[in-house]
Each structure stands twice: as structure tokens, then as C-alpha cells.
Structure 1
Amino acid sequence: MGISIEEMNNMQLDVLKEVGNIGAGNAATALAKMLNRKIDMNVPKVEILEFREVAELLGGAEIPVCGIYFNVVGDLTGNIMFLLTLESSKLLANMLLLREENSEILDEIEQSALQEIGNILSGAYISSLTTLTGLNMKISIPSLTTDMAGAILSVPIIQYGQVGDKVLLIETEFHEGNDEIKGYFFLIPDVDSFEILLKSLGVLE
């Protein structure tokens, strides 16, 4: 049985948070390049939260959200999820598509745009992790779903109940002009992968 997030000491958590900061910074740079315009990013908040607290952060279990989900394979295995409120996901898709319209639901083109954005952001994050750790990791093709926050979060809760009920969450705000997009990005390693990750970062014997 590997180490769980509940068993980590403060130094180990601080290192994981710093990895989150670097990954989120690279993701914002990648997004700006993709959109070919200046994107400002607030310093991300990196927190260790219980899954139920993630839903509260989004505005409650019943708020509609867009979730982009990836499998991570290689030396470290697990999942990445990128969560946006429906409002933020529409804004982000329209920024990429250069559209003004704002309907209540995401159309197919917007969903495709968001999957591509999720791909770029998660790819940049994993690339940072690979550089910092020397571990070889790849992400799968993204799957996108829109549903209530509680329903989307129930998937990793069931899948990773054995690891614990806490998750490393990176809250990132992107700005372009007056538009503010808040995204929540989290890494859910498999049960043995926390140990591999911490050893590769030099904070576990």
C-alpha cells in the first residue's frame, strides 16, 4: 500500500503545491500561445481538499459544470480532471472560437474547443511534472462531460476511495480584458503513484 495524501507531512505537501504552481504557470503560457493573445493569470491557489469541498468551491453539488477528464499512463498513473463552471467554459470556448454568443448549453464546436484547451493545459502540466521528476508520463485523449458538480465528482470519488478522500487541487484564474475564467485542475494519482511522485521529487526515502 502506498502513501496517501492524508499521510503526507508539511514539506511533502509544500513540494506538491510548488509543482502545482509551476504546472499551472506553464499551462497559462500554453493557453496564451494557443489563443495567440495575452492572457493574465493570478497566482494559482494550490490546496489539499476533500472531494466534497471541491463541489462547495464550485458553488455546490447541484451547480452545472464542465469536466474534462484524462487518464495518465507511464511511470506515474492516475487521472487528471479540469473543472470549469458552465459560465467559465462558455467564455473559454468563445475566446478560442472568437465568438460573442452565450447560449445556455455547449454546442459540439464549443465542446471540441474545450477538449482541445483541456488537452493543451493538461499537456503543459504533465510536461512540467515530467521535467521536474524525470518520470515518463502521457495523457489520454480527453473525455468531456457536462453535469452537476456532485455527479461529475462522484466518478473519481468512487474510483479513488482507496487512496483517501482528499485531492490536490489547483485553482487557476485566467483573465483577458474584463473576462475572468476560473478553472479547477486536479491530479488524482493511483494508490502507488503518490509514493513514486514523492520519491522522484526527493521528499520521501
Structure 2
Amino acid sequence: MQKDEENMDDMEFDILTEIGNIGAGNATTALAKLIDGRVDMHVPKVEMLAFKDLAEILGGAEELVAGILLSLEGDIEGSMLFVLENKAAHHLVHKLMGSDGSTLEDSFTEMEQSALVEIGNIISGAYLTAISQLTNLNIIQTVPSLAIDMAGAILSVPAIEFGKLGDKALLIESQFEDDEIDVCGYFILIPTLESYTRILKSLGM
């Protein structure tokens, strides 16, 4: 029998929270290696939210963000989105590329976009590794695509694609801190209902 996300009990949510904690820890380590610097992590916030409420959490539907979207295949199917606030995205790109970050414009050069995809790919991979290790499930991530747009527009892609499978998403809000600024990133996992059931079953639920 499939689990209904509306009726998820406390123990099940605790498991998903643990996945969020371990994933964020993995992401912090990966990010520190990537930018070759110290990165501290605040305790991530984990929520199960309806698609319609996600944009508000990201600062509103018109907030400019960078979104890295990938599809999931294998034992867990669905979609995954890693979202960075525009300022945070520029900061990480400049750190990765070794520039001084003196020009924080809204637009990204082609090289900066490639760097951003790499950042999103590595951080998303860190979260997926946590889920895979905890569940012993095989997760294959597709090549990521990048969009720099308003939060509402970016969120509409997975909402349209997976809305028919369930109207909820697992949101993990992770705050990373380096020696200059706090970087706020949002990891949004949108598995199919069957995949939710598979995750919980693999953990003995």
C-alpha cells in the first residue's frame, strides 16, 4: 500500500529529517573541497510542503534564483532541484573561479554558468549519496540543467511534470557559512509516491 504524504507520521518524518541532516553534512564537505576553504553548516530545516508554498519559502515567486534541476532514475524516480539565491550563486561561482566577486550582476557568463552547474551537480550528488547509503537504493541522476529565473518560473517545471504524481515535495533548507557570507541553498526532492514508499520500506517502515 502506498504511503499518503498527508498522513506521514512523526517517525517517518524523523527519517526524512535525518536524510536531510546527513545530506547537508555531505554537501558541506563537498562544498568546502570545491571552493578550497572552510565551510560551516547551520542545522538544516526540513519540511514537507505543497508545491504552491515553495516559492514563498524561496523569497517569493518573483525572487531571482539559480536552479539546477535533475531527474532521478533507478530505484527512486522523480525530480530534484537545488536552488540558490542569486547573490549566493554569484558568491560561490566567484570563489570557485578565484575571482574577487567585485561585479555581482544578475547575469552569469557562459563560464560562470558551467561553474554553477558543477556546484549544483556536486552538492546534489552529496544529498543523493546520503539517501542511497541510508536506504541501500540505487539512484541515478541525469545530467543537470541550469535556469536563472524567478522562483515561480523555475518551480513550475517540476510541478507540471510531477504534479500528477503528488503535490508535495521534501524541502531541505541548508545554510552554509564561509569566511565572507552565509550561503542559503534549498534542496527540493520530488520523488514519485511509489518512491516515497520504497524509501520508507527500505528503512523498515
Q: TM-score range by the shorter chain?
A: over 0.9
Q: 1:192 aligns with which of 174, 191, 194?
A: 194
Instruction: Give the superposition deviation at 1:7.
Output: 2.7
Higher alpha-carbon deviation: 108-117 or 50-59: 50-59
SS in 2 for 1:192: helix
Alignment correspondent of 2:22: 22
Q: State the AA in 1 paired with 2:134.
A: L
C-alpha separation between the residues in 2 aligned to 1:97 and 1:52?
35
C-alpha separation between the residues in 1 aligned to 2:71 and 2:166?
19
Alignment correspondent of 2:90: 90
C-alpha separation between the residues in 1 aligned to 2:195 and 2:141?
15
Q: State the AA in 1 paired with 2:119.
A: I
Alignment correspondent of 1:139: 141
Contact preservation (8 Å) 1:4, 1:163: no
Matches within 5 A, 1:178-189: 178-189=180-191
Alignment correspondent of 1:168: 170
C-alpha separation between the residues in 2 aligned to 1:90 and 1:118?
13
Q: State the AA in 2 paired with 1:118.
A: G
Q: State the AA in 2 paired with 1:192.
A: E
Query: RMSD value over aligned CA atoms?
Result: 1.3
Alignment correspondent of 1:49: 49
C-alpha separation between the residues in 1 aligned to 2:171 and 2:5?
12
- 2:131 is the alignment partner of 1:107: no
Instruction: Give the superposition deviation at 1:52.
Output: 2.3
What TM-score, normalized to structure 1? 0.94
C-alpha separation between the residues in 2 aligned to 1:72 and 1:160?
12
Deviation string, structure 1 residues 100-134 (Cα, Å, up to 9, x no partner): 23222111111111110111111111111111111
Contact preservation (8 Å) 2:76, 2:138: yes
Deviation string, structure 1 residues 20-60 (Cα, Å, up to 9, x no partner): 11111111111111222111111111111222222111211
Deviation string, structure 1 residues 63-82 (Cα, Å, up to 9, x no partner): 11111001111111111100
Which residues of structure 1 form unaligned runs of 5+?
A: none
Alignment correspondent of 1:158: 160
SS in 2 for 1:80: strand
Contact preservation (8 Å) 2:78, 2:162: no
Instruction: Give the superposition deviation at 1:191.
Output: 2.7
Contact preservation (8 Å) 1:163, 1:191: yes
Which residues of structure 2 form unaligned runs of 5+?
A: none
Change (3 A) 1:4 1:163: farther
Off by >6 Å, runs of 4+ in structure 1: none
Alignment correspondent of 1:7: 7
C-alpha separation between the residues in 1 aligned to 2:47 and 2:72?
21
Instruction: Give the superposition deviation at 1:137.
Output: 1.0
What TM-score, normalized to structure 2? 0.94
